Structure 1
Amino acid sequence: MKNSVSEAQASLRAQYEETPELAMVTDQAITCGTDPSDPFHLLVRPMNTSAVPVAVGVHRAVGGPYDAPCPGDLLCAALAACQDSSVRMVANRMGIELIALEVQVRATVDVRGALGMHKDVPVGFQSITCDIQLQAREGTPPEMLEKLRVAAQRCCVVGQTLQSPPSVQTTLHTAPVADPQLEPSASHPRSTH
């Protein structure tokens, strides 16, 4: 097969076996270049790539214009992309030739929780479905496709993270507001966080 996953991963697997700490990677994203006075729009940029910032908007269900993908759309996109790439890579390693592949993710949320309207309504998605439409080369045994499904689901980092979420730690760093009446002096140093 062209673009062999086995070949691409062989040296990595050997490195990780010998030095497991090399297998620990950190993905990052940062919001950037936005007007903090605009409650409905922002930009987010993945930090480990040269990717351009992605415009993000607020869903109309919580008062936004929904003129750009909302964070929930990006969550769905992350799961769809991870599941798709997992299927492609596992199929390649198994020698399964894919003719067509499409992954569609749907997430449903009751926004009354996010709006703080009812304490008994949770904040967050209540259901997420992932539908994979796949066509393999004619003659591919059904049991191979089932093995592909199981292995790809097990290898999908985003899917597994959603199934068993880690704790999320949020820290708010505040900067002091400058008082135009006071000049900084040696006796009153300003600290930044």
Structure 2
Amino acid sequence: MPNQEFSTKNTTSYKVTSIVHQRHLVLNEKYLKDSTSAWITDSAEVIGINLHDPFRTSVSINDKMKIPFKIGVHKAVGGDHDFPNPGDLLCASLASCFESTIRLISNKLRIELIETKINATAQVDVRGTLMIDKSVPVEFQSMHIDALIISKNTNEKLLHKLIEGAKRSCIVYQTIKKGIPITLNTVVKIKN
């Protein structure tokens, strides 16, 4: 997330107690001294096992932790959909990145979150991938996020800045929206 100032009252006192702001200060200094250190590489790897089964595989997430996830093929393209499919992982990436970004910005703004729920969906016409209709593109045609944010001791203006900041700073959101439209429906509630 870029080092951006959010114009709120007592912003400085909020940031002094924000662990996210403290860590970002260290990273900002590091990246300003050496911009190449800001480059990261995320990874996933599939090593084909049980190649006789066209409907299931597994993917290992992160090159150090190698956390395995079983992957299935969606029933819309002939699979059993007995495990998450790659489209589900795309939605999981968008939802988890968006929610993590909300948490980071909330901490910097000292917004006390009570509950968050981010649901990401992706729509695709599979006739293209099945080569039934070559005029149908082989891609997700749209994605959507439903976001519920319940917070305490804040105001509508600050929550609007939170959502706009999350849209600007969420890497997966910004990457995907360059290729396909993403709609966002946000419900925010304030409990005092």
The answer to whether TM tops 0.5 is yes
Match of 2:154 in 1: 140
For 1:108-147, what aligned pairs fall within 5 Å after superposition?
108-137=123-152, 139-147=153-161
Q: Is 2:127 aligned against 1:152?
A: no
Equivalent AA in structure 2 for residue 92 of structure 1 = N
Larger CA deviation: 27-36 vs 120-129: 27-36
Match of 2:175 in 1: 161
Larger CA deviation: 75-84 vs 44-53: 44-53
Quick one: higher RCO (CA 8 Å, sep 6+), 1 or 2? 2
**C-alpha distance in 2 between matches for 1:107 and 1:155:** 20
Match of 1:184 in 2: none
Structure 1's unaligned 5+ residue stretches are: 166-193
Match of 1:86 in 2: 101
Equivalent AA in structure 1 for residue 120 of structure 2 = V
Given that 2:18 and 2:110 are in contact with CA atoms closer than 8 Å, whether structure 1 keeps it comes out as no
Q: Is 2:23 aligned against 1:14?
A: no
RMSD across aligned C-alpha pairs, in angstroms? 1.6
Q: Is 2:75 aligned against 1:60?
A: yes
Equivalent AA in structure 1 for residue 137 of structure 2 = P
SS at structure 2 position matched to 1:15:
helix
Match of 1:42 in 2: 57
Match of 2:38 in 1: 23
Q: Is 2:154 aligned against 1:102?
A: no
Given that 1:34 and 1:41 are in contact with CA atoms closer than 8 Å, whether structure 2 keeps it comes out as no
**C-alpha distance in 2 between matches for 1:5 and 1:153:** 18
SS at structure 2 position matched to 1:21:
helix
Match of 2:189 in 1: none
Structure 2's unaligned 5+ residue stretches are: 1-13, 180-192
Deviations 1:107-148 (A, max 9, x none): 1111101101101111111110011100010x4110100000
SS at structure 2 position matched to 1:84:
helix
SS at structure 1 position matched to 2:132:
coil
Given that 2:119 and 2:145 are in contact with CA atoms closer than 8 Å, whether structure 1 keeps it comes out as yes
Q: TM-score, structure 2 length as denominator?
A: 0.81
Distance apart, 1:60 and its partner CA: 0.5
Matched pairs, number: 164
The higher radius of gyration belongs to 1
SS at structure 1 position matched to 2:164:
helix
Deviations 1:36-58 (A, max 9, x none): 22110111012334142100000
Distance apart, 1:3 and its partner CA: 7.2
Q: Percent identity?
A: 39
Match of 2:84 in 1: 69
Higher strand share goes to which structure?
2
**C-alpha distance in 1 between matches for 2:34 and 2:85:** 39
